[in-house]
Structure 1
Amino acid sequence: MSQLIVVGAQWGDEGKGRIVDWASEDAELVVRYNGGHNAGHTLVVDGRTWKLALLPCGLLHGRTGAIGKGVSLDPQALLDEISRVSAQGLHITPDTLWLAEDINLVLPLHRALDVAQESLRGTPVGTTGRGIGPALEDRSGRRALRLCDLAEPDTLEERLDGLLAWHAPLARALGLPAPERAALLAQLQAWGEALLPFAAPVGERLAAAHTRGAHILYEGAQAMMLDTDHGTWPYVTGASTLPAQAAPGSGFGAAARARVLGVVKAYSSRVGNGPFPSEMHGAAGDALRERGGEYGVNTGRPRRCGWIDLALLRQTARLGALDALAVTKLDVLDDQPEISVCTGYRIGGRLHESLPPGIAAQAAAEPVYETLPGWQCDTGRSRRLEDLPMQARKYLERIEAFVGVPIALVSVGAEREALIAPQGAFDL
């Protein structure tokens, strides 16, 4: 097996960056295929902390990174991130980073529109305000600007005029300043100078690497229950977050044959609004948040926390055709005398084995719990499954049995070596 997709199996923030960081050691290429700078990772490598939003994690280990067409690219956000990591000693060049030539751009007008749209919703979705949703709307409406447009001056001006013809009246209707053509054109030209050297036929290069047997790692952003079609709609992101998106998002169809590692926290968390049946409220939820350090990497927003939702995880395992699970932050539960796991939902007196799609039904869902004994001892030094206390092993076994997917990896601490990983990443 020479291809692996790492994807979030809950609502995001499962610690995917940590798992991608581990798997990068065995990879030659690491590819971002979805999301944008509205999702990020905090990584500790050799005692140094790195905060990444767009750059593939493998760059930290000298691997080649690629950002595929499926990513929504804010040019300034990428340039700022490159500047930050360069100041830390990681130099990014066109040899180490490939940008899909036809990647779609997130512009300042998209950010303004994102904030305005969120304020108009009766119940806010909880977006980051980074402009990703409106940029995706322009992509679907065939109005978007792409990186390759910046290389063609006449095309750029024509495409920009068409974009502004749509956005100017929309801005007026929302009480926003009209986008200034001259300033935006100058900004686009400056971005072109800085980023066009990184433009590459990513799909072709991945195909060539695959042919010679290179290990390719696909780094998913966000998580499957935020998928625009199959997540807890409308409290979702604007594009697909499924592992199947790795093929169109990278431009390499054979990514559809990659094995899939789903990352799940030993508990659950969610940022923003939307259904969360197993959420813990009050002091218990606050304590779990503090113990797990559950605050957004890029936004600092506190995450809602709760017990693991096995019914939801079984849904995402089916949806994403997961081959294996990585369970992160098991150590955060070390102090719990008892641990609850959600196995279904009661809605209007009726038992449901999976979360239904209706908005009102999801909001009314009451969790059905099993209670398991906690272990109340330190798991942070465990490096083999046999090192874990019996109750922790039984907890993991219950997850496997209910979801029907084997657990291939467990993390028990923030340190890079605090992993129970009996196999190499590409041997899953």
Structure 2
Amino acid sequence: MPALVLLGAQWGDEGKGKATDLLGGSVDYVVRYQGGNNAGHTVVVGDQKYALHLLPSGILSPGCTPVIGNGVVVDPSVLLSELSGLNERGVDTSKLLISGNAHIITPYNVTVDKVTERFLGKRKIGTTGRGIGPTYADKINRVGIRVQDLYDESILTQKVEAALDVKNQMLTKLYNRRAIAVEQVVEELLGYADKLAPYVADTVLVLNEALEQDKVVLFEGGQGTLLDIDHGTYPFVTSSNPTAGGACTGAGVGPTKISRVIGILKAYTTRVGAGPFPTELFDEDGEALRRIGGERGVTTGRDRRCGWFDAVIARYATRVNGLTDFFLTKLDVLTGWEQIPVCVAYEIDGRRVEELPYSQTDFHHAKPVYEMLPGWNEDISKVKSFSDLPKNAQAYVKALEEMSGAPISAIGVGPGRTETIEINSFL
């Protein structure tokens, strides 16, 4: 079967962009199936660094068709700006396809996101303020605006009116904000119609026909498993399903078409935003991981919270996604530590717990139980084969593989496209 899913196995920011880009030259389609411009990827090609927020990483691979699926929420201004920036750098973006069923992030969705988060104060979720959550809420409430609505002014106007009937009441009476004019929103959205038209397609049909023709399709998740709305650390999660099941609903492809599910694991752990994080470090080790790993959000610009590797989370990701392989990234960042702690279980109210607790209360009180593994000092950034890694680095990888429950098929030893050790082919 030629369909693969590639997703984050922690809280996002694991290096999915690099992994997708590495496979991009061997696949025919790369599909974003959920999320919006709250999911940043950094891809390094040669001496060029690309920061992608909404576009699939496959857009950097000649011959690959990048697809924004129906499960994605699209901010037209961000998308067009991102396309323009790539075009200026000589990247061909003409093959991009956007699902006509993808939902549009409207100006009022962004406004609602920002004022709601500010209103929550200490109870805030830590959203990016880009309108993602309110857009998904509109989708579920059946008052959302879809890409296809840009091409019927009457329907678009009716839908905007229906959405603002409620939102203007909330903005003016609850948040003491100005009402948003229907005409202004409609005019802005219609202004994107012609610019987006060349890309809009029935992507469900395109992708299923491609699979029937034995084309290779890679489904790329944004964020990570622990940020999944159903399976993450709720309520400190995103508003969509980055887990493997989201690829089916977010792209319109049945589960029987998917042959491999690849989880991206960082050799340590990071997360952005609020929420529980058992292995988080508040000492010089945490600062060193942040500095050496360049741990700053691509989209948010916020420093990432850093901690040691959490095998409990990795096992959970293997289970809920049905992972067949791991791609371990940023192993090089751990060079220089005499010993490297790995969280193998949690202590909760005096009990040792080896699986992720389903209770939000228990997870908030979880304390990491560490196993110490010997470190290494050798530079590994130029290593091309697993056998050439320092013995302690090999042992670290093997230990993580055993603890996580799926084979590690590739290892990132640097940010560049070529700085990867491939153990088993994903294709």
Query: Where do 1:249-264 residues align within 5 Å?
Result: 249-254=250-255, 257-264=258-265
The 5-angstrom pairing of residues 3-82 of structure 1 reads 3-62=3-62, 63-82=64-83
Identity of aligned residues (%): 38
Is the counterpart of residue 107 in structure 1 residue 106 in structure 2? yes
User: 2:143 aligns to what?
Assistant: 143
Q: CA RMSD in A?
A: 1.2
1:60 deviation in Å? 0.9
Residue 197 of structure 1 deviates from its aligned partner by 2.5
Partner of 1:133: 133
Q: What residue number does 1:337 align with?
A: 338
Residue 157 of structure 1 deviates from its aligned partner by 1.3
**Structure 1, 297-306 or 151-160: larger mean CA deviation:** 151-160
1:369 is the counterpart of 2:379: no
- SS of structure 1 residue aligned to 2:127: coil
Residue 312 in structure 1 maps to residue 325 in structure 2: no
Q: Secondary structure at the match of 1:425?
A: coil
User: Separation in 1 of the partners of 2:369 and 2:257?
Assistant: 35
Shift of 1:393: 0.8
Query: Which residue of the partner structure matches residue 162 of structure 1?
Result: 162
Q: Find the residue that maps to 1:408 and give its secondary structure.
A: strand
Q: Is the 8 A contact 2:409 2:425 kept in 1?
A: no
List runs of 5+ in structure 1 lacking aligned partners: none
Distance of 2:259 and 2:301 partners within structure 1: 33
1:254: how far off?
A: 4.8
Asked if 2 retains the 8 angstrom alpha-carbon contact of 1:125 and 1:234, the reply is yes
The one-letter code sitting in structure 2 at the alignment partner of 1:45 is V
Cα distance in 2 for partners of 1:88, 1:227 equals 34
Contact 2:3–2:257 (8 Å) recurs in 1: no
Q: Give me the TM-score of the superposition, normalised by structure 1.
A: 0.97
Helix, strand or coil for the counterpart of 1:301?
A: coil
- CA-CA distance at 1:255 after TM superposition: 6.7
Distance in 1 (CA, whole Å) between partners of 2:103 and 2:256 is 21
SS at the partner of 2:123?
coil
- 2: distance between equivalents of 1:260 and 1:231? 18
Q: Deviation at 1:47?
A: 1.9
Which of 330-339 and 247-256 deviates more?
A: 247-256
Amino acid of the structure 2 residue aligned with 1:109? Y
Contact 1:232/1:357 (CA < 8 Å) preserved in 2? no
> How many residue pairs align between the two structures?
424
- CA drift of 1:83 comes to 1.1
Describe the superposition over 1:82-115 as per-residue Cα deviations: whole angstroms up to 9, x where unpaired.
111111112322xx01110111011111111111
CA distance in 1, matches of 2:256, 2:52: 23
Question: SS where residue 325 of structure 1 aligns?
Answer: strand
Q: Which moved more, 1:49-58 or 1:318-327?
A: 49-58
Give ranges in structure 2 of 5+ residues lacking alignment: none
Q: Is the 1:246–1:256 Cα contact (8 Å) retained in structure 2?
A: no
Moved more, 162-171 or 315-324: 162-171
Residue 123, structure 1, aligned to residue 123, structure 2: yes
- Are the aligned partners of 1:24 and 1:58 in contact in 2 as well (CA < 8 Å)? yes
SS of residue in 2 equivalent to 1:322: coil
TM-score when normalising by structure 2: 0.97
1:116-161 deviations in Å (ceiling 9; x for gaps): 2112324221111111001111000000000111111211111111
Quote how far apart the aligned CAs of 1:21 are.
0.4
Question: Match of 1:258, SS?
Answer: strand
Deviation at 1:196, TM superposition (A): 2.4
